[in-house]
Structure 1
Amino acid sequence: MMRFGKKAAVLTAAGALAAMTVTGCSGSINTDSVVATVGEDDITLGLANFYARMTQGQYETYYASMLGTTGDAMWTQEAGEDQTYEESVKDGLMESLQNMYLIAQHAEEYDVSLTEEEEDAISEAAKQFDEDNTDEAKETVSGYRKDVEEFLRLATIQTKMDSKMREGVDEEVSDEEAAQKAMQYVFFSYTTTDDSGNSTELTDEEKESLKTDAQSLVDRVKGGEDFATVAEELGQTASDLTFDSESTTPNEDLIAAVDAFETEGEVTDVIETDSGIYVGQLTSLLDREATDQEKETIVEQRRQDQYDSLLEEWRDSTEIEVDEKAWDKVDFEDTGVTIITSETEESSEEGSADTGSDTSEDTSSDSSTADDTNSGDSASE
């Protein structure tokens, strides 16, 4: 079994360290070999493999079904730009590891360092992980004490640096810059959906009937009737939407038409698309709540831009090299990693016996308690 203490999960703040089952055989690798260099720091293959296997487990457990495939088949699928899904994810993992080292290298500039308590907790978590797991299990994910300890060190520094790197941006945003308008709109769809979820396109006659209803909505609202009430009488539902000139949904032509209005209450003409008909009415030239929310979004984007800019600056001024041949040794196809939830473990324990497999791993985490380093869920298969 593989196990992480609860304090380790608090330190990483990543949620990546959870119960896993490993299948297949990845073969032995030299964990001390260098897979990449960031300035004067070496990224060992052991650290890179450990981080990759934690991430692999998340993808295979939570994302494979969303992609309509299985964990082992997912990695060979095309991910765009002439890359497989495995190649795309591994590129992102390597960049993330490089960023972690770049951030750690600049931590002193922000007066960020690990406290004695954090260092002790990291050491204890790595020690416990090392003692609780078999050599075979640790070999699969490079879960040796030095690799686990280094990962926790980098992750903790990154977490502490996050807010520091985002500090100092201009937090003043004018109403004009953040302005959000509001509308009500109705979409007369050219398709219907039955209780089973099957869609059927309307006949030409039915489409013409919808156009008549849409024009009736326009004429009646222009005549002074309430938009939502008329829509309901026509068997439709009026939807509320806040927007600005950069908005693209639900339809760019609808957005452009309503955005051009200068008086609240104005109504668009019938706007026909391939999928149906839109009619919209401007209800507010400045939606206060949406505008204030947009101000927060703008400030947060400024913080993110500053964070990204710092990383780009550090990256440009640092020599970074990757040993692609060494990195290729981390292969997702041959070794599957599945995260086991507590519910799954309980069901397994109640409904089946231990098969004695020595490839089952448990890296349980619970971020709710920072002081309990001795408990964690376990899974055996």
Structure 2
Amino acid sequence: MKRFGKRIAIIGMVSAIAVTSLSGCGKINNKDSVATVGSDEVSMGVANFYARLQQAQYETYYASYMGDDMWTTEVSDGETYEDSVKSSTLEQLEDMYLLKQHAKDYDVSLSEDDKKAIDKAVATFLEDNALEDKELVSGDKKYVKELLELLTYQKKMTEPMQKGVDEEVSDEEAAQKAMQYVTFSYTKTDESGQSSDMTDDEKAAQKKAAQAFYDANKDAGVEEFKAAAEKAGYDLQTQTFDADSTATLGEELVKAADALAEVGDVTKLVETDSADYICQLTSLMDRDATDAKKTEIVQQRKQDQYDSLVKKWRDDTDIKEHKNVWKKVDFVNQGVTMKQEAEEPYAVGSDSSTDTDDEASNDEAAEETTEDAAQ
């Protein structure tokens, strides 16, 4: 599953959680071991507190459109959204312990400023939350502090672990073309804003209009093609792309556009189940988009190196999970959300590493809902 946006490095969120929906909650023992990572024991106190921070973000940003059944929604065979998020949460926490264990390899340690920021965040959390709420999320000082230390190690390890990656990317490798295209959709919208599929006769008329536009503009220059679309009242869209842009534009449109050889070339009707498209190539290499792609490629190389190191450490370390303990953490009967009026959280040092996805964004973030529940 994709992690919730960037790896957590902004730690002031601990003061912004609010416990809700307390019916049916079971008692947990904060001293129980949820997992062991080499010689380190992951206590229920630390694991539950981290899980509640994750839960708070999901419930704040997703629950409004996923509904009351969010956590019981199945995201894969036999796995609920709760199962998926809890699984990734525990894995992330195990990785944090691995990062701390290898911190000396990179001369990474907590500075006095780090420690002061952590102490400030802990104090704020303890002051701003009622005792009962803190107990329900394992918000004892020692658990909050330990988690914030782990998060800080995670953030500080990112740059040195990504160091040495080849940052040279050629124009050829990153090249992004550009197109403009007109869509002849098979969906119609009524006066109330409701969408519905066109009838077969309406689809036939739409295809006829698309063919007429192609016949009239197949040899048009870039500006002429644009002017013709505007004059006809069609919605002309522009997009940069490469052969891998199918997730954004669809396989049929990308394949047809990528096959165009010269600026000004126009595709024949690109036919799909939902629409027909007519596309014109406007650039063989869009400079801004290509430079942005270079940055993206370098960031991905860094993330790949980071992930490869973590995987190696996981493979080399004896990690045991106590699932009978971890299952006691319940998202369904104990809700946790973010206090919307909370001030800007305290940060420990600089921003965190790039998204694993990307995605993520948190941007990545509510971006991708149920799919987000799967890394």
- TM score, norm. by length of structure 1: 0.82
Change (3 A) 1:126 1:288: closer
Q: Does 1:21 align with 2:27?
A: no
How far residue 278 of structure 1 moved from its aligned partner, in angstroms, is 0.8
Q: Per the alignment, in what secondary structure is the counterpart of residue 65 of structure 2?
A: coil
Residue of structure 2 aligned with 1:243, choices 228, 233, 241: 241
| Deviates most, 310-319 or 197-206 | 197-206
Change (3 A) 1:15 1:92: farther
How far residue 234 of structure 1 moved from its aligned partner, in angstroms, is 2.6
Counterpart of 1:349 in structure 2 is none
2-structure distance, mates of 1:78, 1:97? 24
Q: Per the alignment, in what secondary structure is the counterpart of residue 149 of structure 1?
A: helix
2-structure distance, mates of 1:52, 1:243? 38
Counterpart of 2:301 in structure 1 is 302
- How do residues 143-154 of structure 1 correspond to structure 2 at under 5 angstroms? 143-154=139-150
Counterpart of 2:280 in structure 1 is 281
Q: Per the alignment, in what secondary structure is the counterpart of residue 75 of structure 1?
A: helix
Tell me the number of residue pairs that the alignment of Structure 1 and Structure 2 aligns. Answer: 336
Amino acid at match of 1:170: D
Counterpart of 1:360 in structure 2 is none
Please tell me whether the aligned partners of residues 34 and 45 of structure 1 are also in contact (alpha carbons under 8 angstroms).
yes
2-structure distance, mates of 1:32, 1:251? 51
Identity, % of aligned positions = 50
Q: Does 1:44 align with 2:32?
A: no
How far residue 145 of structure 1 moved from its aligned partner, in angstroms, is 1.2
Counterpart of 2:359 in structure 1 is none
1-structure distance, mates of 2:235, 2:120? 59
Q: Per the alignment, in what secondary structure is the counterpart of residue 277 of structure 1?
A: strand
- TM score, norm. by length of structure 2: 0.83
Q: Does 1:88 align with 2:84?
A: yes
How far residue 76 of structure 1 moved from its aligned partner, in angstroms, is 1.6
Change (3 A) 1:223 1:94: closer
Change (3 A) 1:125 1:297: closer
Q: Per the alignment, in what secondary structure is the counterpart of residue 24 of structure 1?
A: coil
Change (3 A) 1:111 1:188: same
2-structure distance, mates of 1:253, 1:129? 52
Please tell me whether the aligned partners of residues 99 and 311 of structure 1 are also in contact (alpha carbons under 8 angstroms).
yes
In our comparison, the structure showing a higher alpha carbon Rg is 1
| Deviates most, 89-98 or 135-144 | 135-144
1-structure distance, mates of 2:239, 2:214? 18
Residue of structure 2 aligned with 1:231, choices 229, 232, 244: 229
Task: Point out where structure 2 has 5 or more consecutive residues left out of the alignment.
Answer: 1-7, 349-375
| Deviates most, 203-212 or 305-314 | 203-212
How far residue 135 of structure 1 moved from its aligned partner, in angstroms, is 4.1
How far residue 66 of structure 1 moved from its aligned partner, in angstroms, is 2.3
Counterpart of 1:122 in structure 2 is 118
2-structure distance, mates of 1:232, 1:132? 57
- How do residues 301-320 of structure 1 correspond to structure 2 at under 5 angstroms? 301-320=300-319
Please tell me whether the aligned partners of residues 28 and 139 of structure 1 are also in contact (alpha carbons under 8 angstroms).
no
Residue of structure 2 aligned with 1:181, choices 167, 177, 181: 177
CA deviation digits over 1:62-99, x for unaligned, max 9?
A: 211121x12xx322221213211111111011001101
- How do residues 138-287 of structure 1 correspond to structure 2 at under 5 angstroms? 138-224=134-220, 226-248=224-246, 249-287=248-286
- How do residues 40-119 of structure 1 correspond to structure 2 at under 5 angstroms? 40-67=39-66, 69-70=67-68, 73-119=69-115
1-structure distance, mates of 2:292, 2:125? 44
| Deviates most, 115-124 or 102-111 | 115-124
Please tell me whether the aligned partners of residues 27 and 140 of structure 1 are also in contact (alpha carbons under 8 angstroms).
no
Amino acid at match of 2:177: K
How far residue 334 of structure 1 moved from its aligned partner, in angstroms, is 2.2
